Structure 1
Amino acid sequence: MVGADIVCNSTSNQYTTCTPRGRIVDELDATLLRLFSAEPRIGVLEASRRLGVARGTVQARLDKLSRAGVTAGWGPVLDPEALGYPVTAFLTLEIRQGSGHETIARHLSTIPEVLEAYTITGAGDMWCRVVARSNADLQRVIDAVLSDSGIVRSSTVIALDTQIRHRVLPLLDAAVARDHEPDASSPANRS
């Protein structure tokens, strides 16, 4: 332990990890997450060999990241287009007063083509990402969404191309970099 606000652990000669108290991810965790993101089938033993740390350390870190909710899962990432759904659209839904977002969310969860839905601020009440087999099939999906009487109207935007796929690793890198910056609020950094 180094100071009251920073905890350091030596995991090997190569990695001494210092994490500000209350932070979840340190440099070893980030390196481990990058490795498993690049090669998800690598396995704990091979990861420990490549990183030069004990197998138990890798497993403990993975368990900690899972418990903390940093890793949301280890399953395969499916591509809707490869499954026969090449059209992606975004629906902004306006919900009838008193219908409730949870009721609408339950309805949307019964439609396989609805990939995600969020309660939002702004012009609408809820936003959905949907997929369809074709532009004509998109109308069927929209009709299924609108079949709930709690939805007043929808506006639709069709995605023409994907510029940046869903990603989180740059956010991980930014979080780790932020953790290495001096904390302006700490007494040692006040003038």
Structure 2
Amino acid sequence: MPDLDRTDRKILKALQTDGRIATVDLAEKVGLSPTSTSDRVKRLQREGFIAGYGARLDPHRLGLGLLVFVEVSLDKTTPDVFEKFAEAVKRAPEVLECHMVAGGFDYLVKTRVADMAAYRRFLGEILLALPGVKETRTYAVMEEVKSDGILPV
């Protein structure tokens, strides 16, 4: 990793696990003084290694128990169609993630909804209405095996 020493990696790993850890506790965990630790965290933020902080919410408690992945194929693969689709999908709050991919389709969309009826509404009213969408393939998740999102640093 560019410009990251072992201590930087320890800091990043600890912050991924607990973004609210006190500087004193983080310093103890990585073996530095609180001042040095704080300086490193600020540098990691400034250099973009730390993109932000947030709470991980329980989707089931929020009534969003169904996780769905959708393959999306566009009717044309031209820069303007890609751009129109990308801009529109960014405005859809139901879409958690959207990735342009190489392979047999154009985009992989990740969404969370209450149930299959809510997904059907999302598909018909939101996803299929996005610019350039030709067809979709849906994959409803039966079991989430790993979803902690921790990067290996």
State the TM bucket, normalised to the shorter chain. 0.7 to 0.9
Name the structure 1 match of 2:5. 26
**Structure 1, unaligned stretches of length 5 or more?**
1-21, 173-191
1:153 aligns with 2:135: yes
d(CA) in 1 for partners of 2:46, 2:132? 37
CA-to-aligned-CA distance 1:47-66 (integer Å, 9 cap, x gap): 22444422221122112222
Please name the residue that 1:104 is paired with: 85
Residue 85 of structure 1 deviates from its aligned partner by 0.6
Where does residue 47 of structure 1 map in the other structure?
26
Corresponding residue of 1:175: none
* C-alpha distance in structure 2 between counterparts of 1:93 and 1:108, whole Å: 11
| Residue in structure 1 matched with residue 118 of structure 2 by the alignment | 137
Aligned to 1:17: none
Task: Answer yes or no: is the 8 Å Cα contact 1:24–1:68 preserved in 2.
Answer: no
The secondary structure found in structure 2 opposite 1:100 is helix
Q: State the partner residue of 1:56.
A: 35
**3-state secondary structure, aligned to 1:111:** coil
Structure 2 portions without partners, runs of 5+? none
> Which runs of at least 4 in structure 1 moved beyond 6 Å after TM superposition?
none
Question: Could you tell me how far apart the structure 1 residues matched to 2:30 and 2:68 are?
Answer: 41
2:81 equivalent to 1:91? no
Q: TM-score, normalised by structure 2?
A: 0.86
Q: Which residue of 1 aligns with 2:150?
A: 168
The answer to whether the 8 A contact 2:81-2:131 is kept is no
Overall identity of the aligned pairs, in %:
23
RMSD: 2.0
Residue 64 of structure 1 aligns to which amino acid in structure 2? R
Q: Secondary structure at the match of 1:128?
A: strand
CA shift in 2, pair 1:57/1:148, >3 Å: same
1:29-63 C-alpha deviation (Å, 9 max, x unpaired) = 12222333333322223322444422221122112
Choose 75-84 or 85-94, whichever is displaced more. 75-84
Alpha-carbon distance in 2 for matches of 1:57, 1:90? 43
Counterpart secondary structure, 1:115: strand
Deviation at 1:149, TM superposition (A): 4.1
Identify the structure with bigger relative contact order (alpha carbons < 8 Å, sequence gap 6+): 2
Secondary structure at the aligned position of 2:144 is classed as coil
Measure how far apart 1:107 and its partner are.
Answer: 1.5
